[in-house]
Amino acid sequence: MTSRRNMKLSEKFAELRRNGEGALVAYITMGDPSPVESLAIAQSLIDSGAVDVLELGVPFSDPIADGPVIQNAVDRALRAGMNTDLAFEISAQLDKKVPIVYLTYYNIVLQYGVKRFFESCQKSGISGVIIADLPYEEGAEVRQACADNGVDYIHIVTPNTSAERMQMILAESSGFAYLVSTRGVTGKRASLSAGIKEVLDRAKAAAGNTPVAVGFGISGPDHVTEIISMGADGAIVGSAIVDLIAKGATTEELQAYVRSLKQATRTVRAVVE
């Protein structure tokens, strides 16, 4: 039996903070390698007990923020017939033991209808939404639709975001703030970007009480440990998981991988109440 209550991101991050853990945010592309298989993969990640937040990519034909691994996953998903209606159908079937967030592009939301999209998020148990290509200045309608439906609007900031602009953007972010660790697109990297600690410190100062999770280029337990040790509230891992799916990893292999990532979030930190 599925649970459709939107588990609040604020509840999950508060629980993790009390336990002295960072969050593992795991990303997959919906519909890859097929809609039915992606439903099973998503549920297996939830059932692993290792994923704190599940991030589901709603495929868009021109994913400009994504590197080759996720672009190829999007292509496979679209060829398999994935669409926005199916995304909501799949989401509604998932057990909401952890918060589930969408990552998508504004054209998907606009074509579906902003009001209808966020009403459907609420009905299918989506806790938050990230829109990769929507500038802050153009997001008023989305922010209102999120507020009307109890859905967190997770804003993105990058190393290029000025301190003043970061303050403005993150004042509006709820659930968590998404800090891009590096310039460029998503993808696995051998090491974290130089200077990420300084950018993270700026983001955390701007975000106030809103947790900050770091993504792009985080592809193994060592990276997770490093970013959590720097003070990040969460680590977002996408391309590494999507790559395993593309290579035909079994459910057991995927679960073992995310468990290794989760173990790396258990860095001892002072609990700040």
In a domain, 124, yes or no: yes
219 versus 23: the higher-pLDDT residue is 23
Is the model's pLDDT at 28 over the cut of 90? yes
In a domain, 1, yes or no: no
Is the model's pLDDT at 62 over the cut of 90? no
- Buried b / exposed e over 182-214, threshold 16 CB at 10 Å, is beebbbbbeebbeebbebbebbbebbeebbbbb
Cα–Cα distance measured from residue 241 to residue 258, given in angstroms and rounded to the nearest whole number: 8
Tokens of 19: 């336990």
Is the model's pLDDT at 151 over the cut of 60? yes
pLDDT tens for residues 162-219? 999 999 999 999 999 999 987 544 444 444 656 889 999 999 999 999 999 999 889 8
In this prediction, residue 270 carries a pLDDT of: 38
In a domain, 271, yes or no: no
User: What would the mean pLDDT of 2-17 be, rounded to a whole number?
Assistant: 82
In this prediction, residue 63 carries a pLDDT of: 72
Cβ proximity of 178 and 185 under 8 Å: no
Cα–Cα distance measured from residue 54 to residue 26, given in angstroms and rounded to the nearest whole number: 5
Specify burial of residue 170 (Cβ count, 10 A radius: 0-12, 13-18, 19+). buried
Tokens of 203: 């983001």
In a domain, 224, yes or no: yes
217 versus 63: the higher-pLDDT residue is 217
Q: Is the dihedral of CA 20, 241, 184, 189 positive or negative?
A: positive
Task: For the chain, give the mean pLDDT.
Answer: 91
If we measure between CA atoms, which residue out of 171, 3, 173 comes closest to residue 100? 3
Pairing of strands 152-153, 156-157: unpaired
Cβ proximity of 170 and 206 under 8 Å: yes
Which domain, by its residues, includes 128?
A: 9-265
Catalytic pick from 21, 32, 66, 152? 66
120 versus 60: the higher-pLDDT residue is 120
In a domain, 138, yes or no: yes
CATH number for the domain harbouring residue 69: 3.20.20.70
- Structural domain count, the chain: 1
Is 66 a catalytic site residue? yes
In a domain, 165, yes or no: yes
In this prediction, residue 255 carries a pLDDT of: 98
User: What would the mean pLDDT of 42-68 be, rounded to a whole number?
Assistant: 91
Tokens of 22: 């960072």
In a domain, 272, yes or no: no
Is the model's pLDDT at 25 over the cut of 90? yes
Biggest CA–CA distance in the chain, Å, is 48
Catalytic pick from 52, 55, 233, 243? 55
In a domain, 54, yes or no: yes
In this prediction, residue 67 carries a pLDDT of: 78
Cα–Cα distance measured from residue 113 to residue 154, given in angstroms and rounded to the nearest whole number: 19
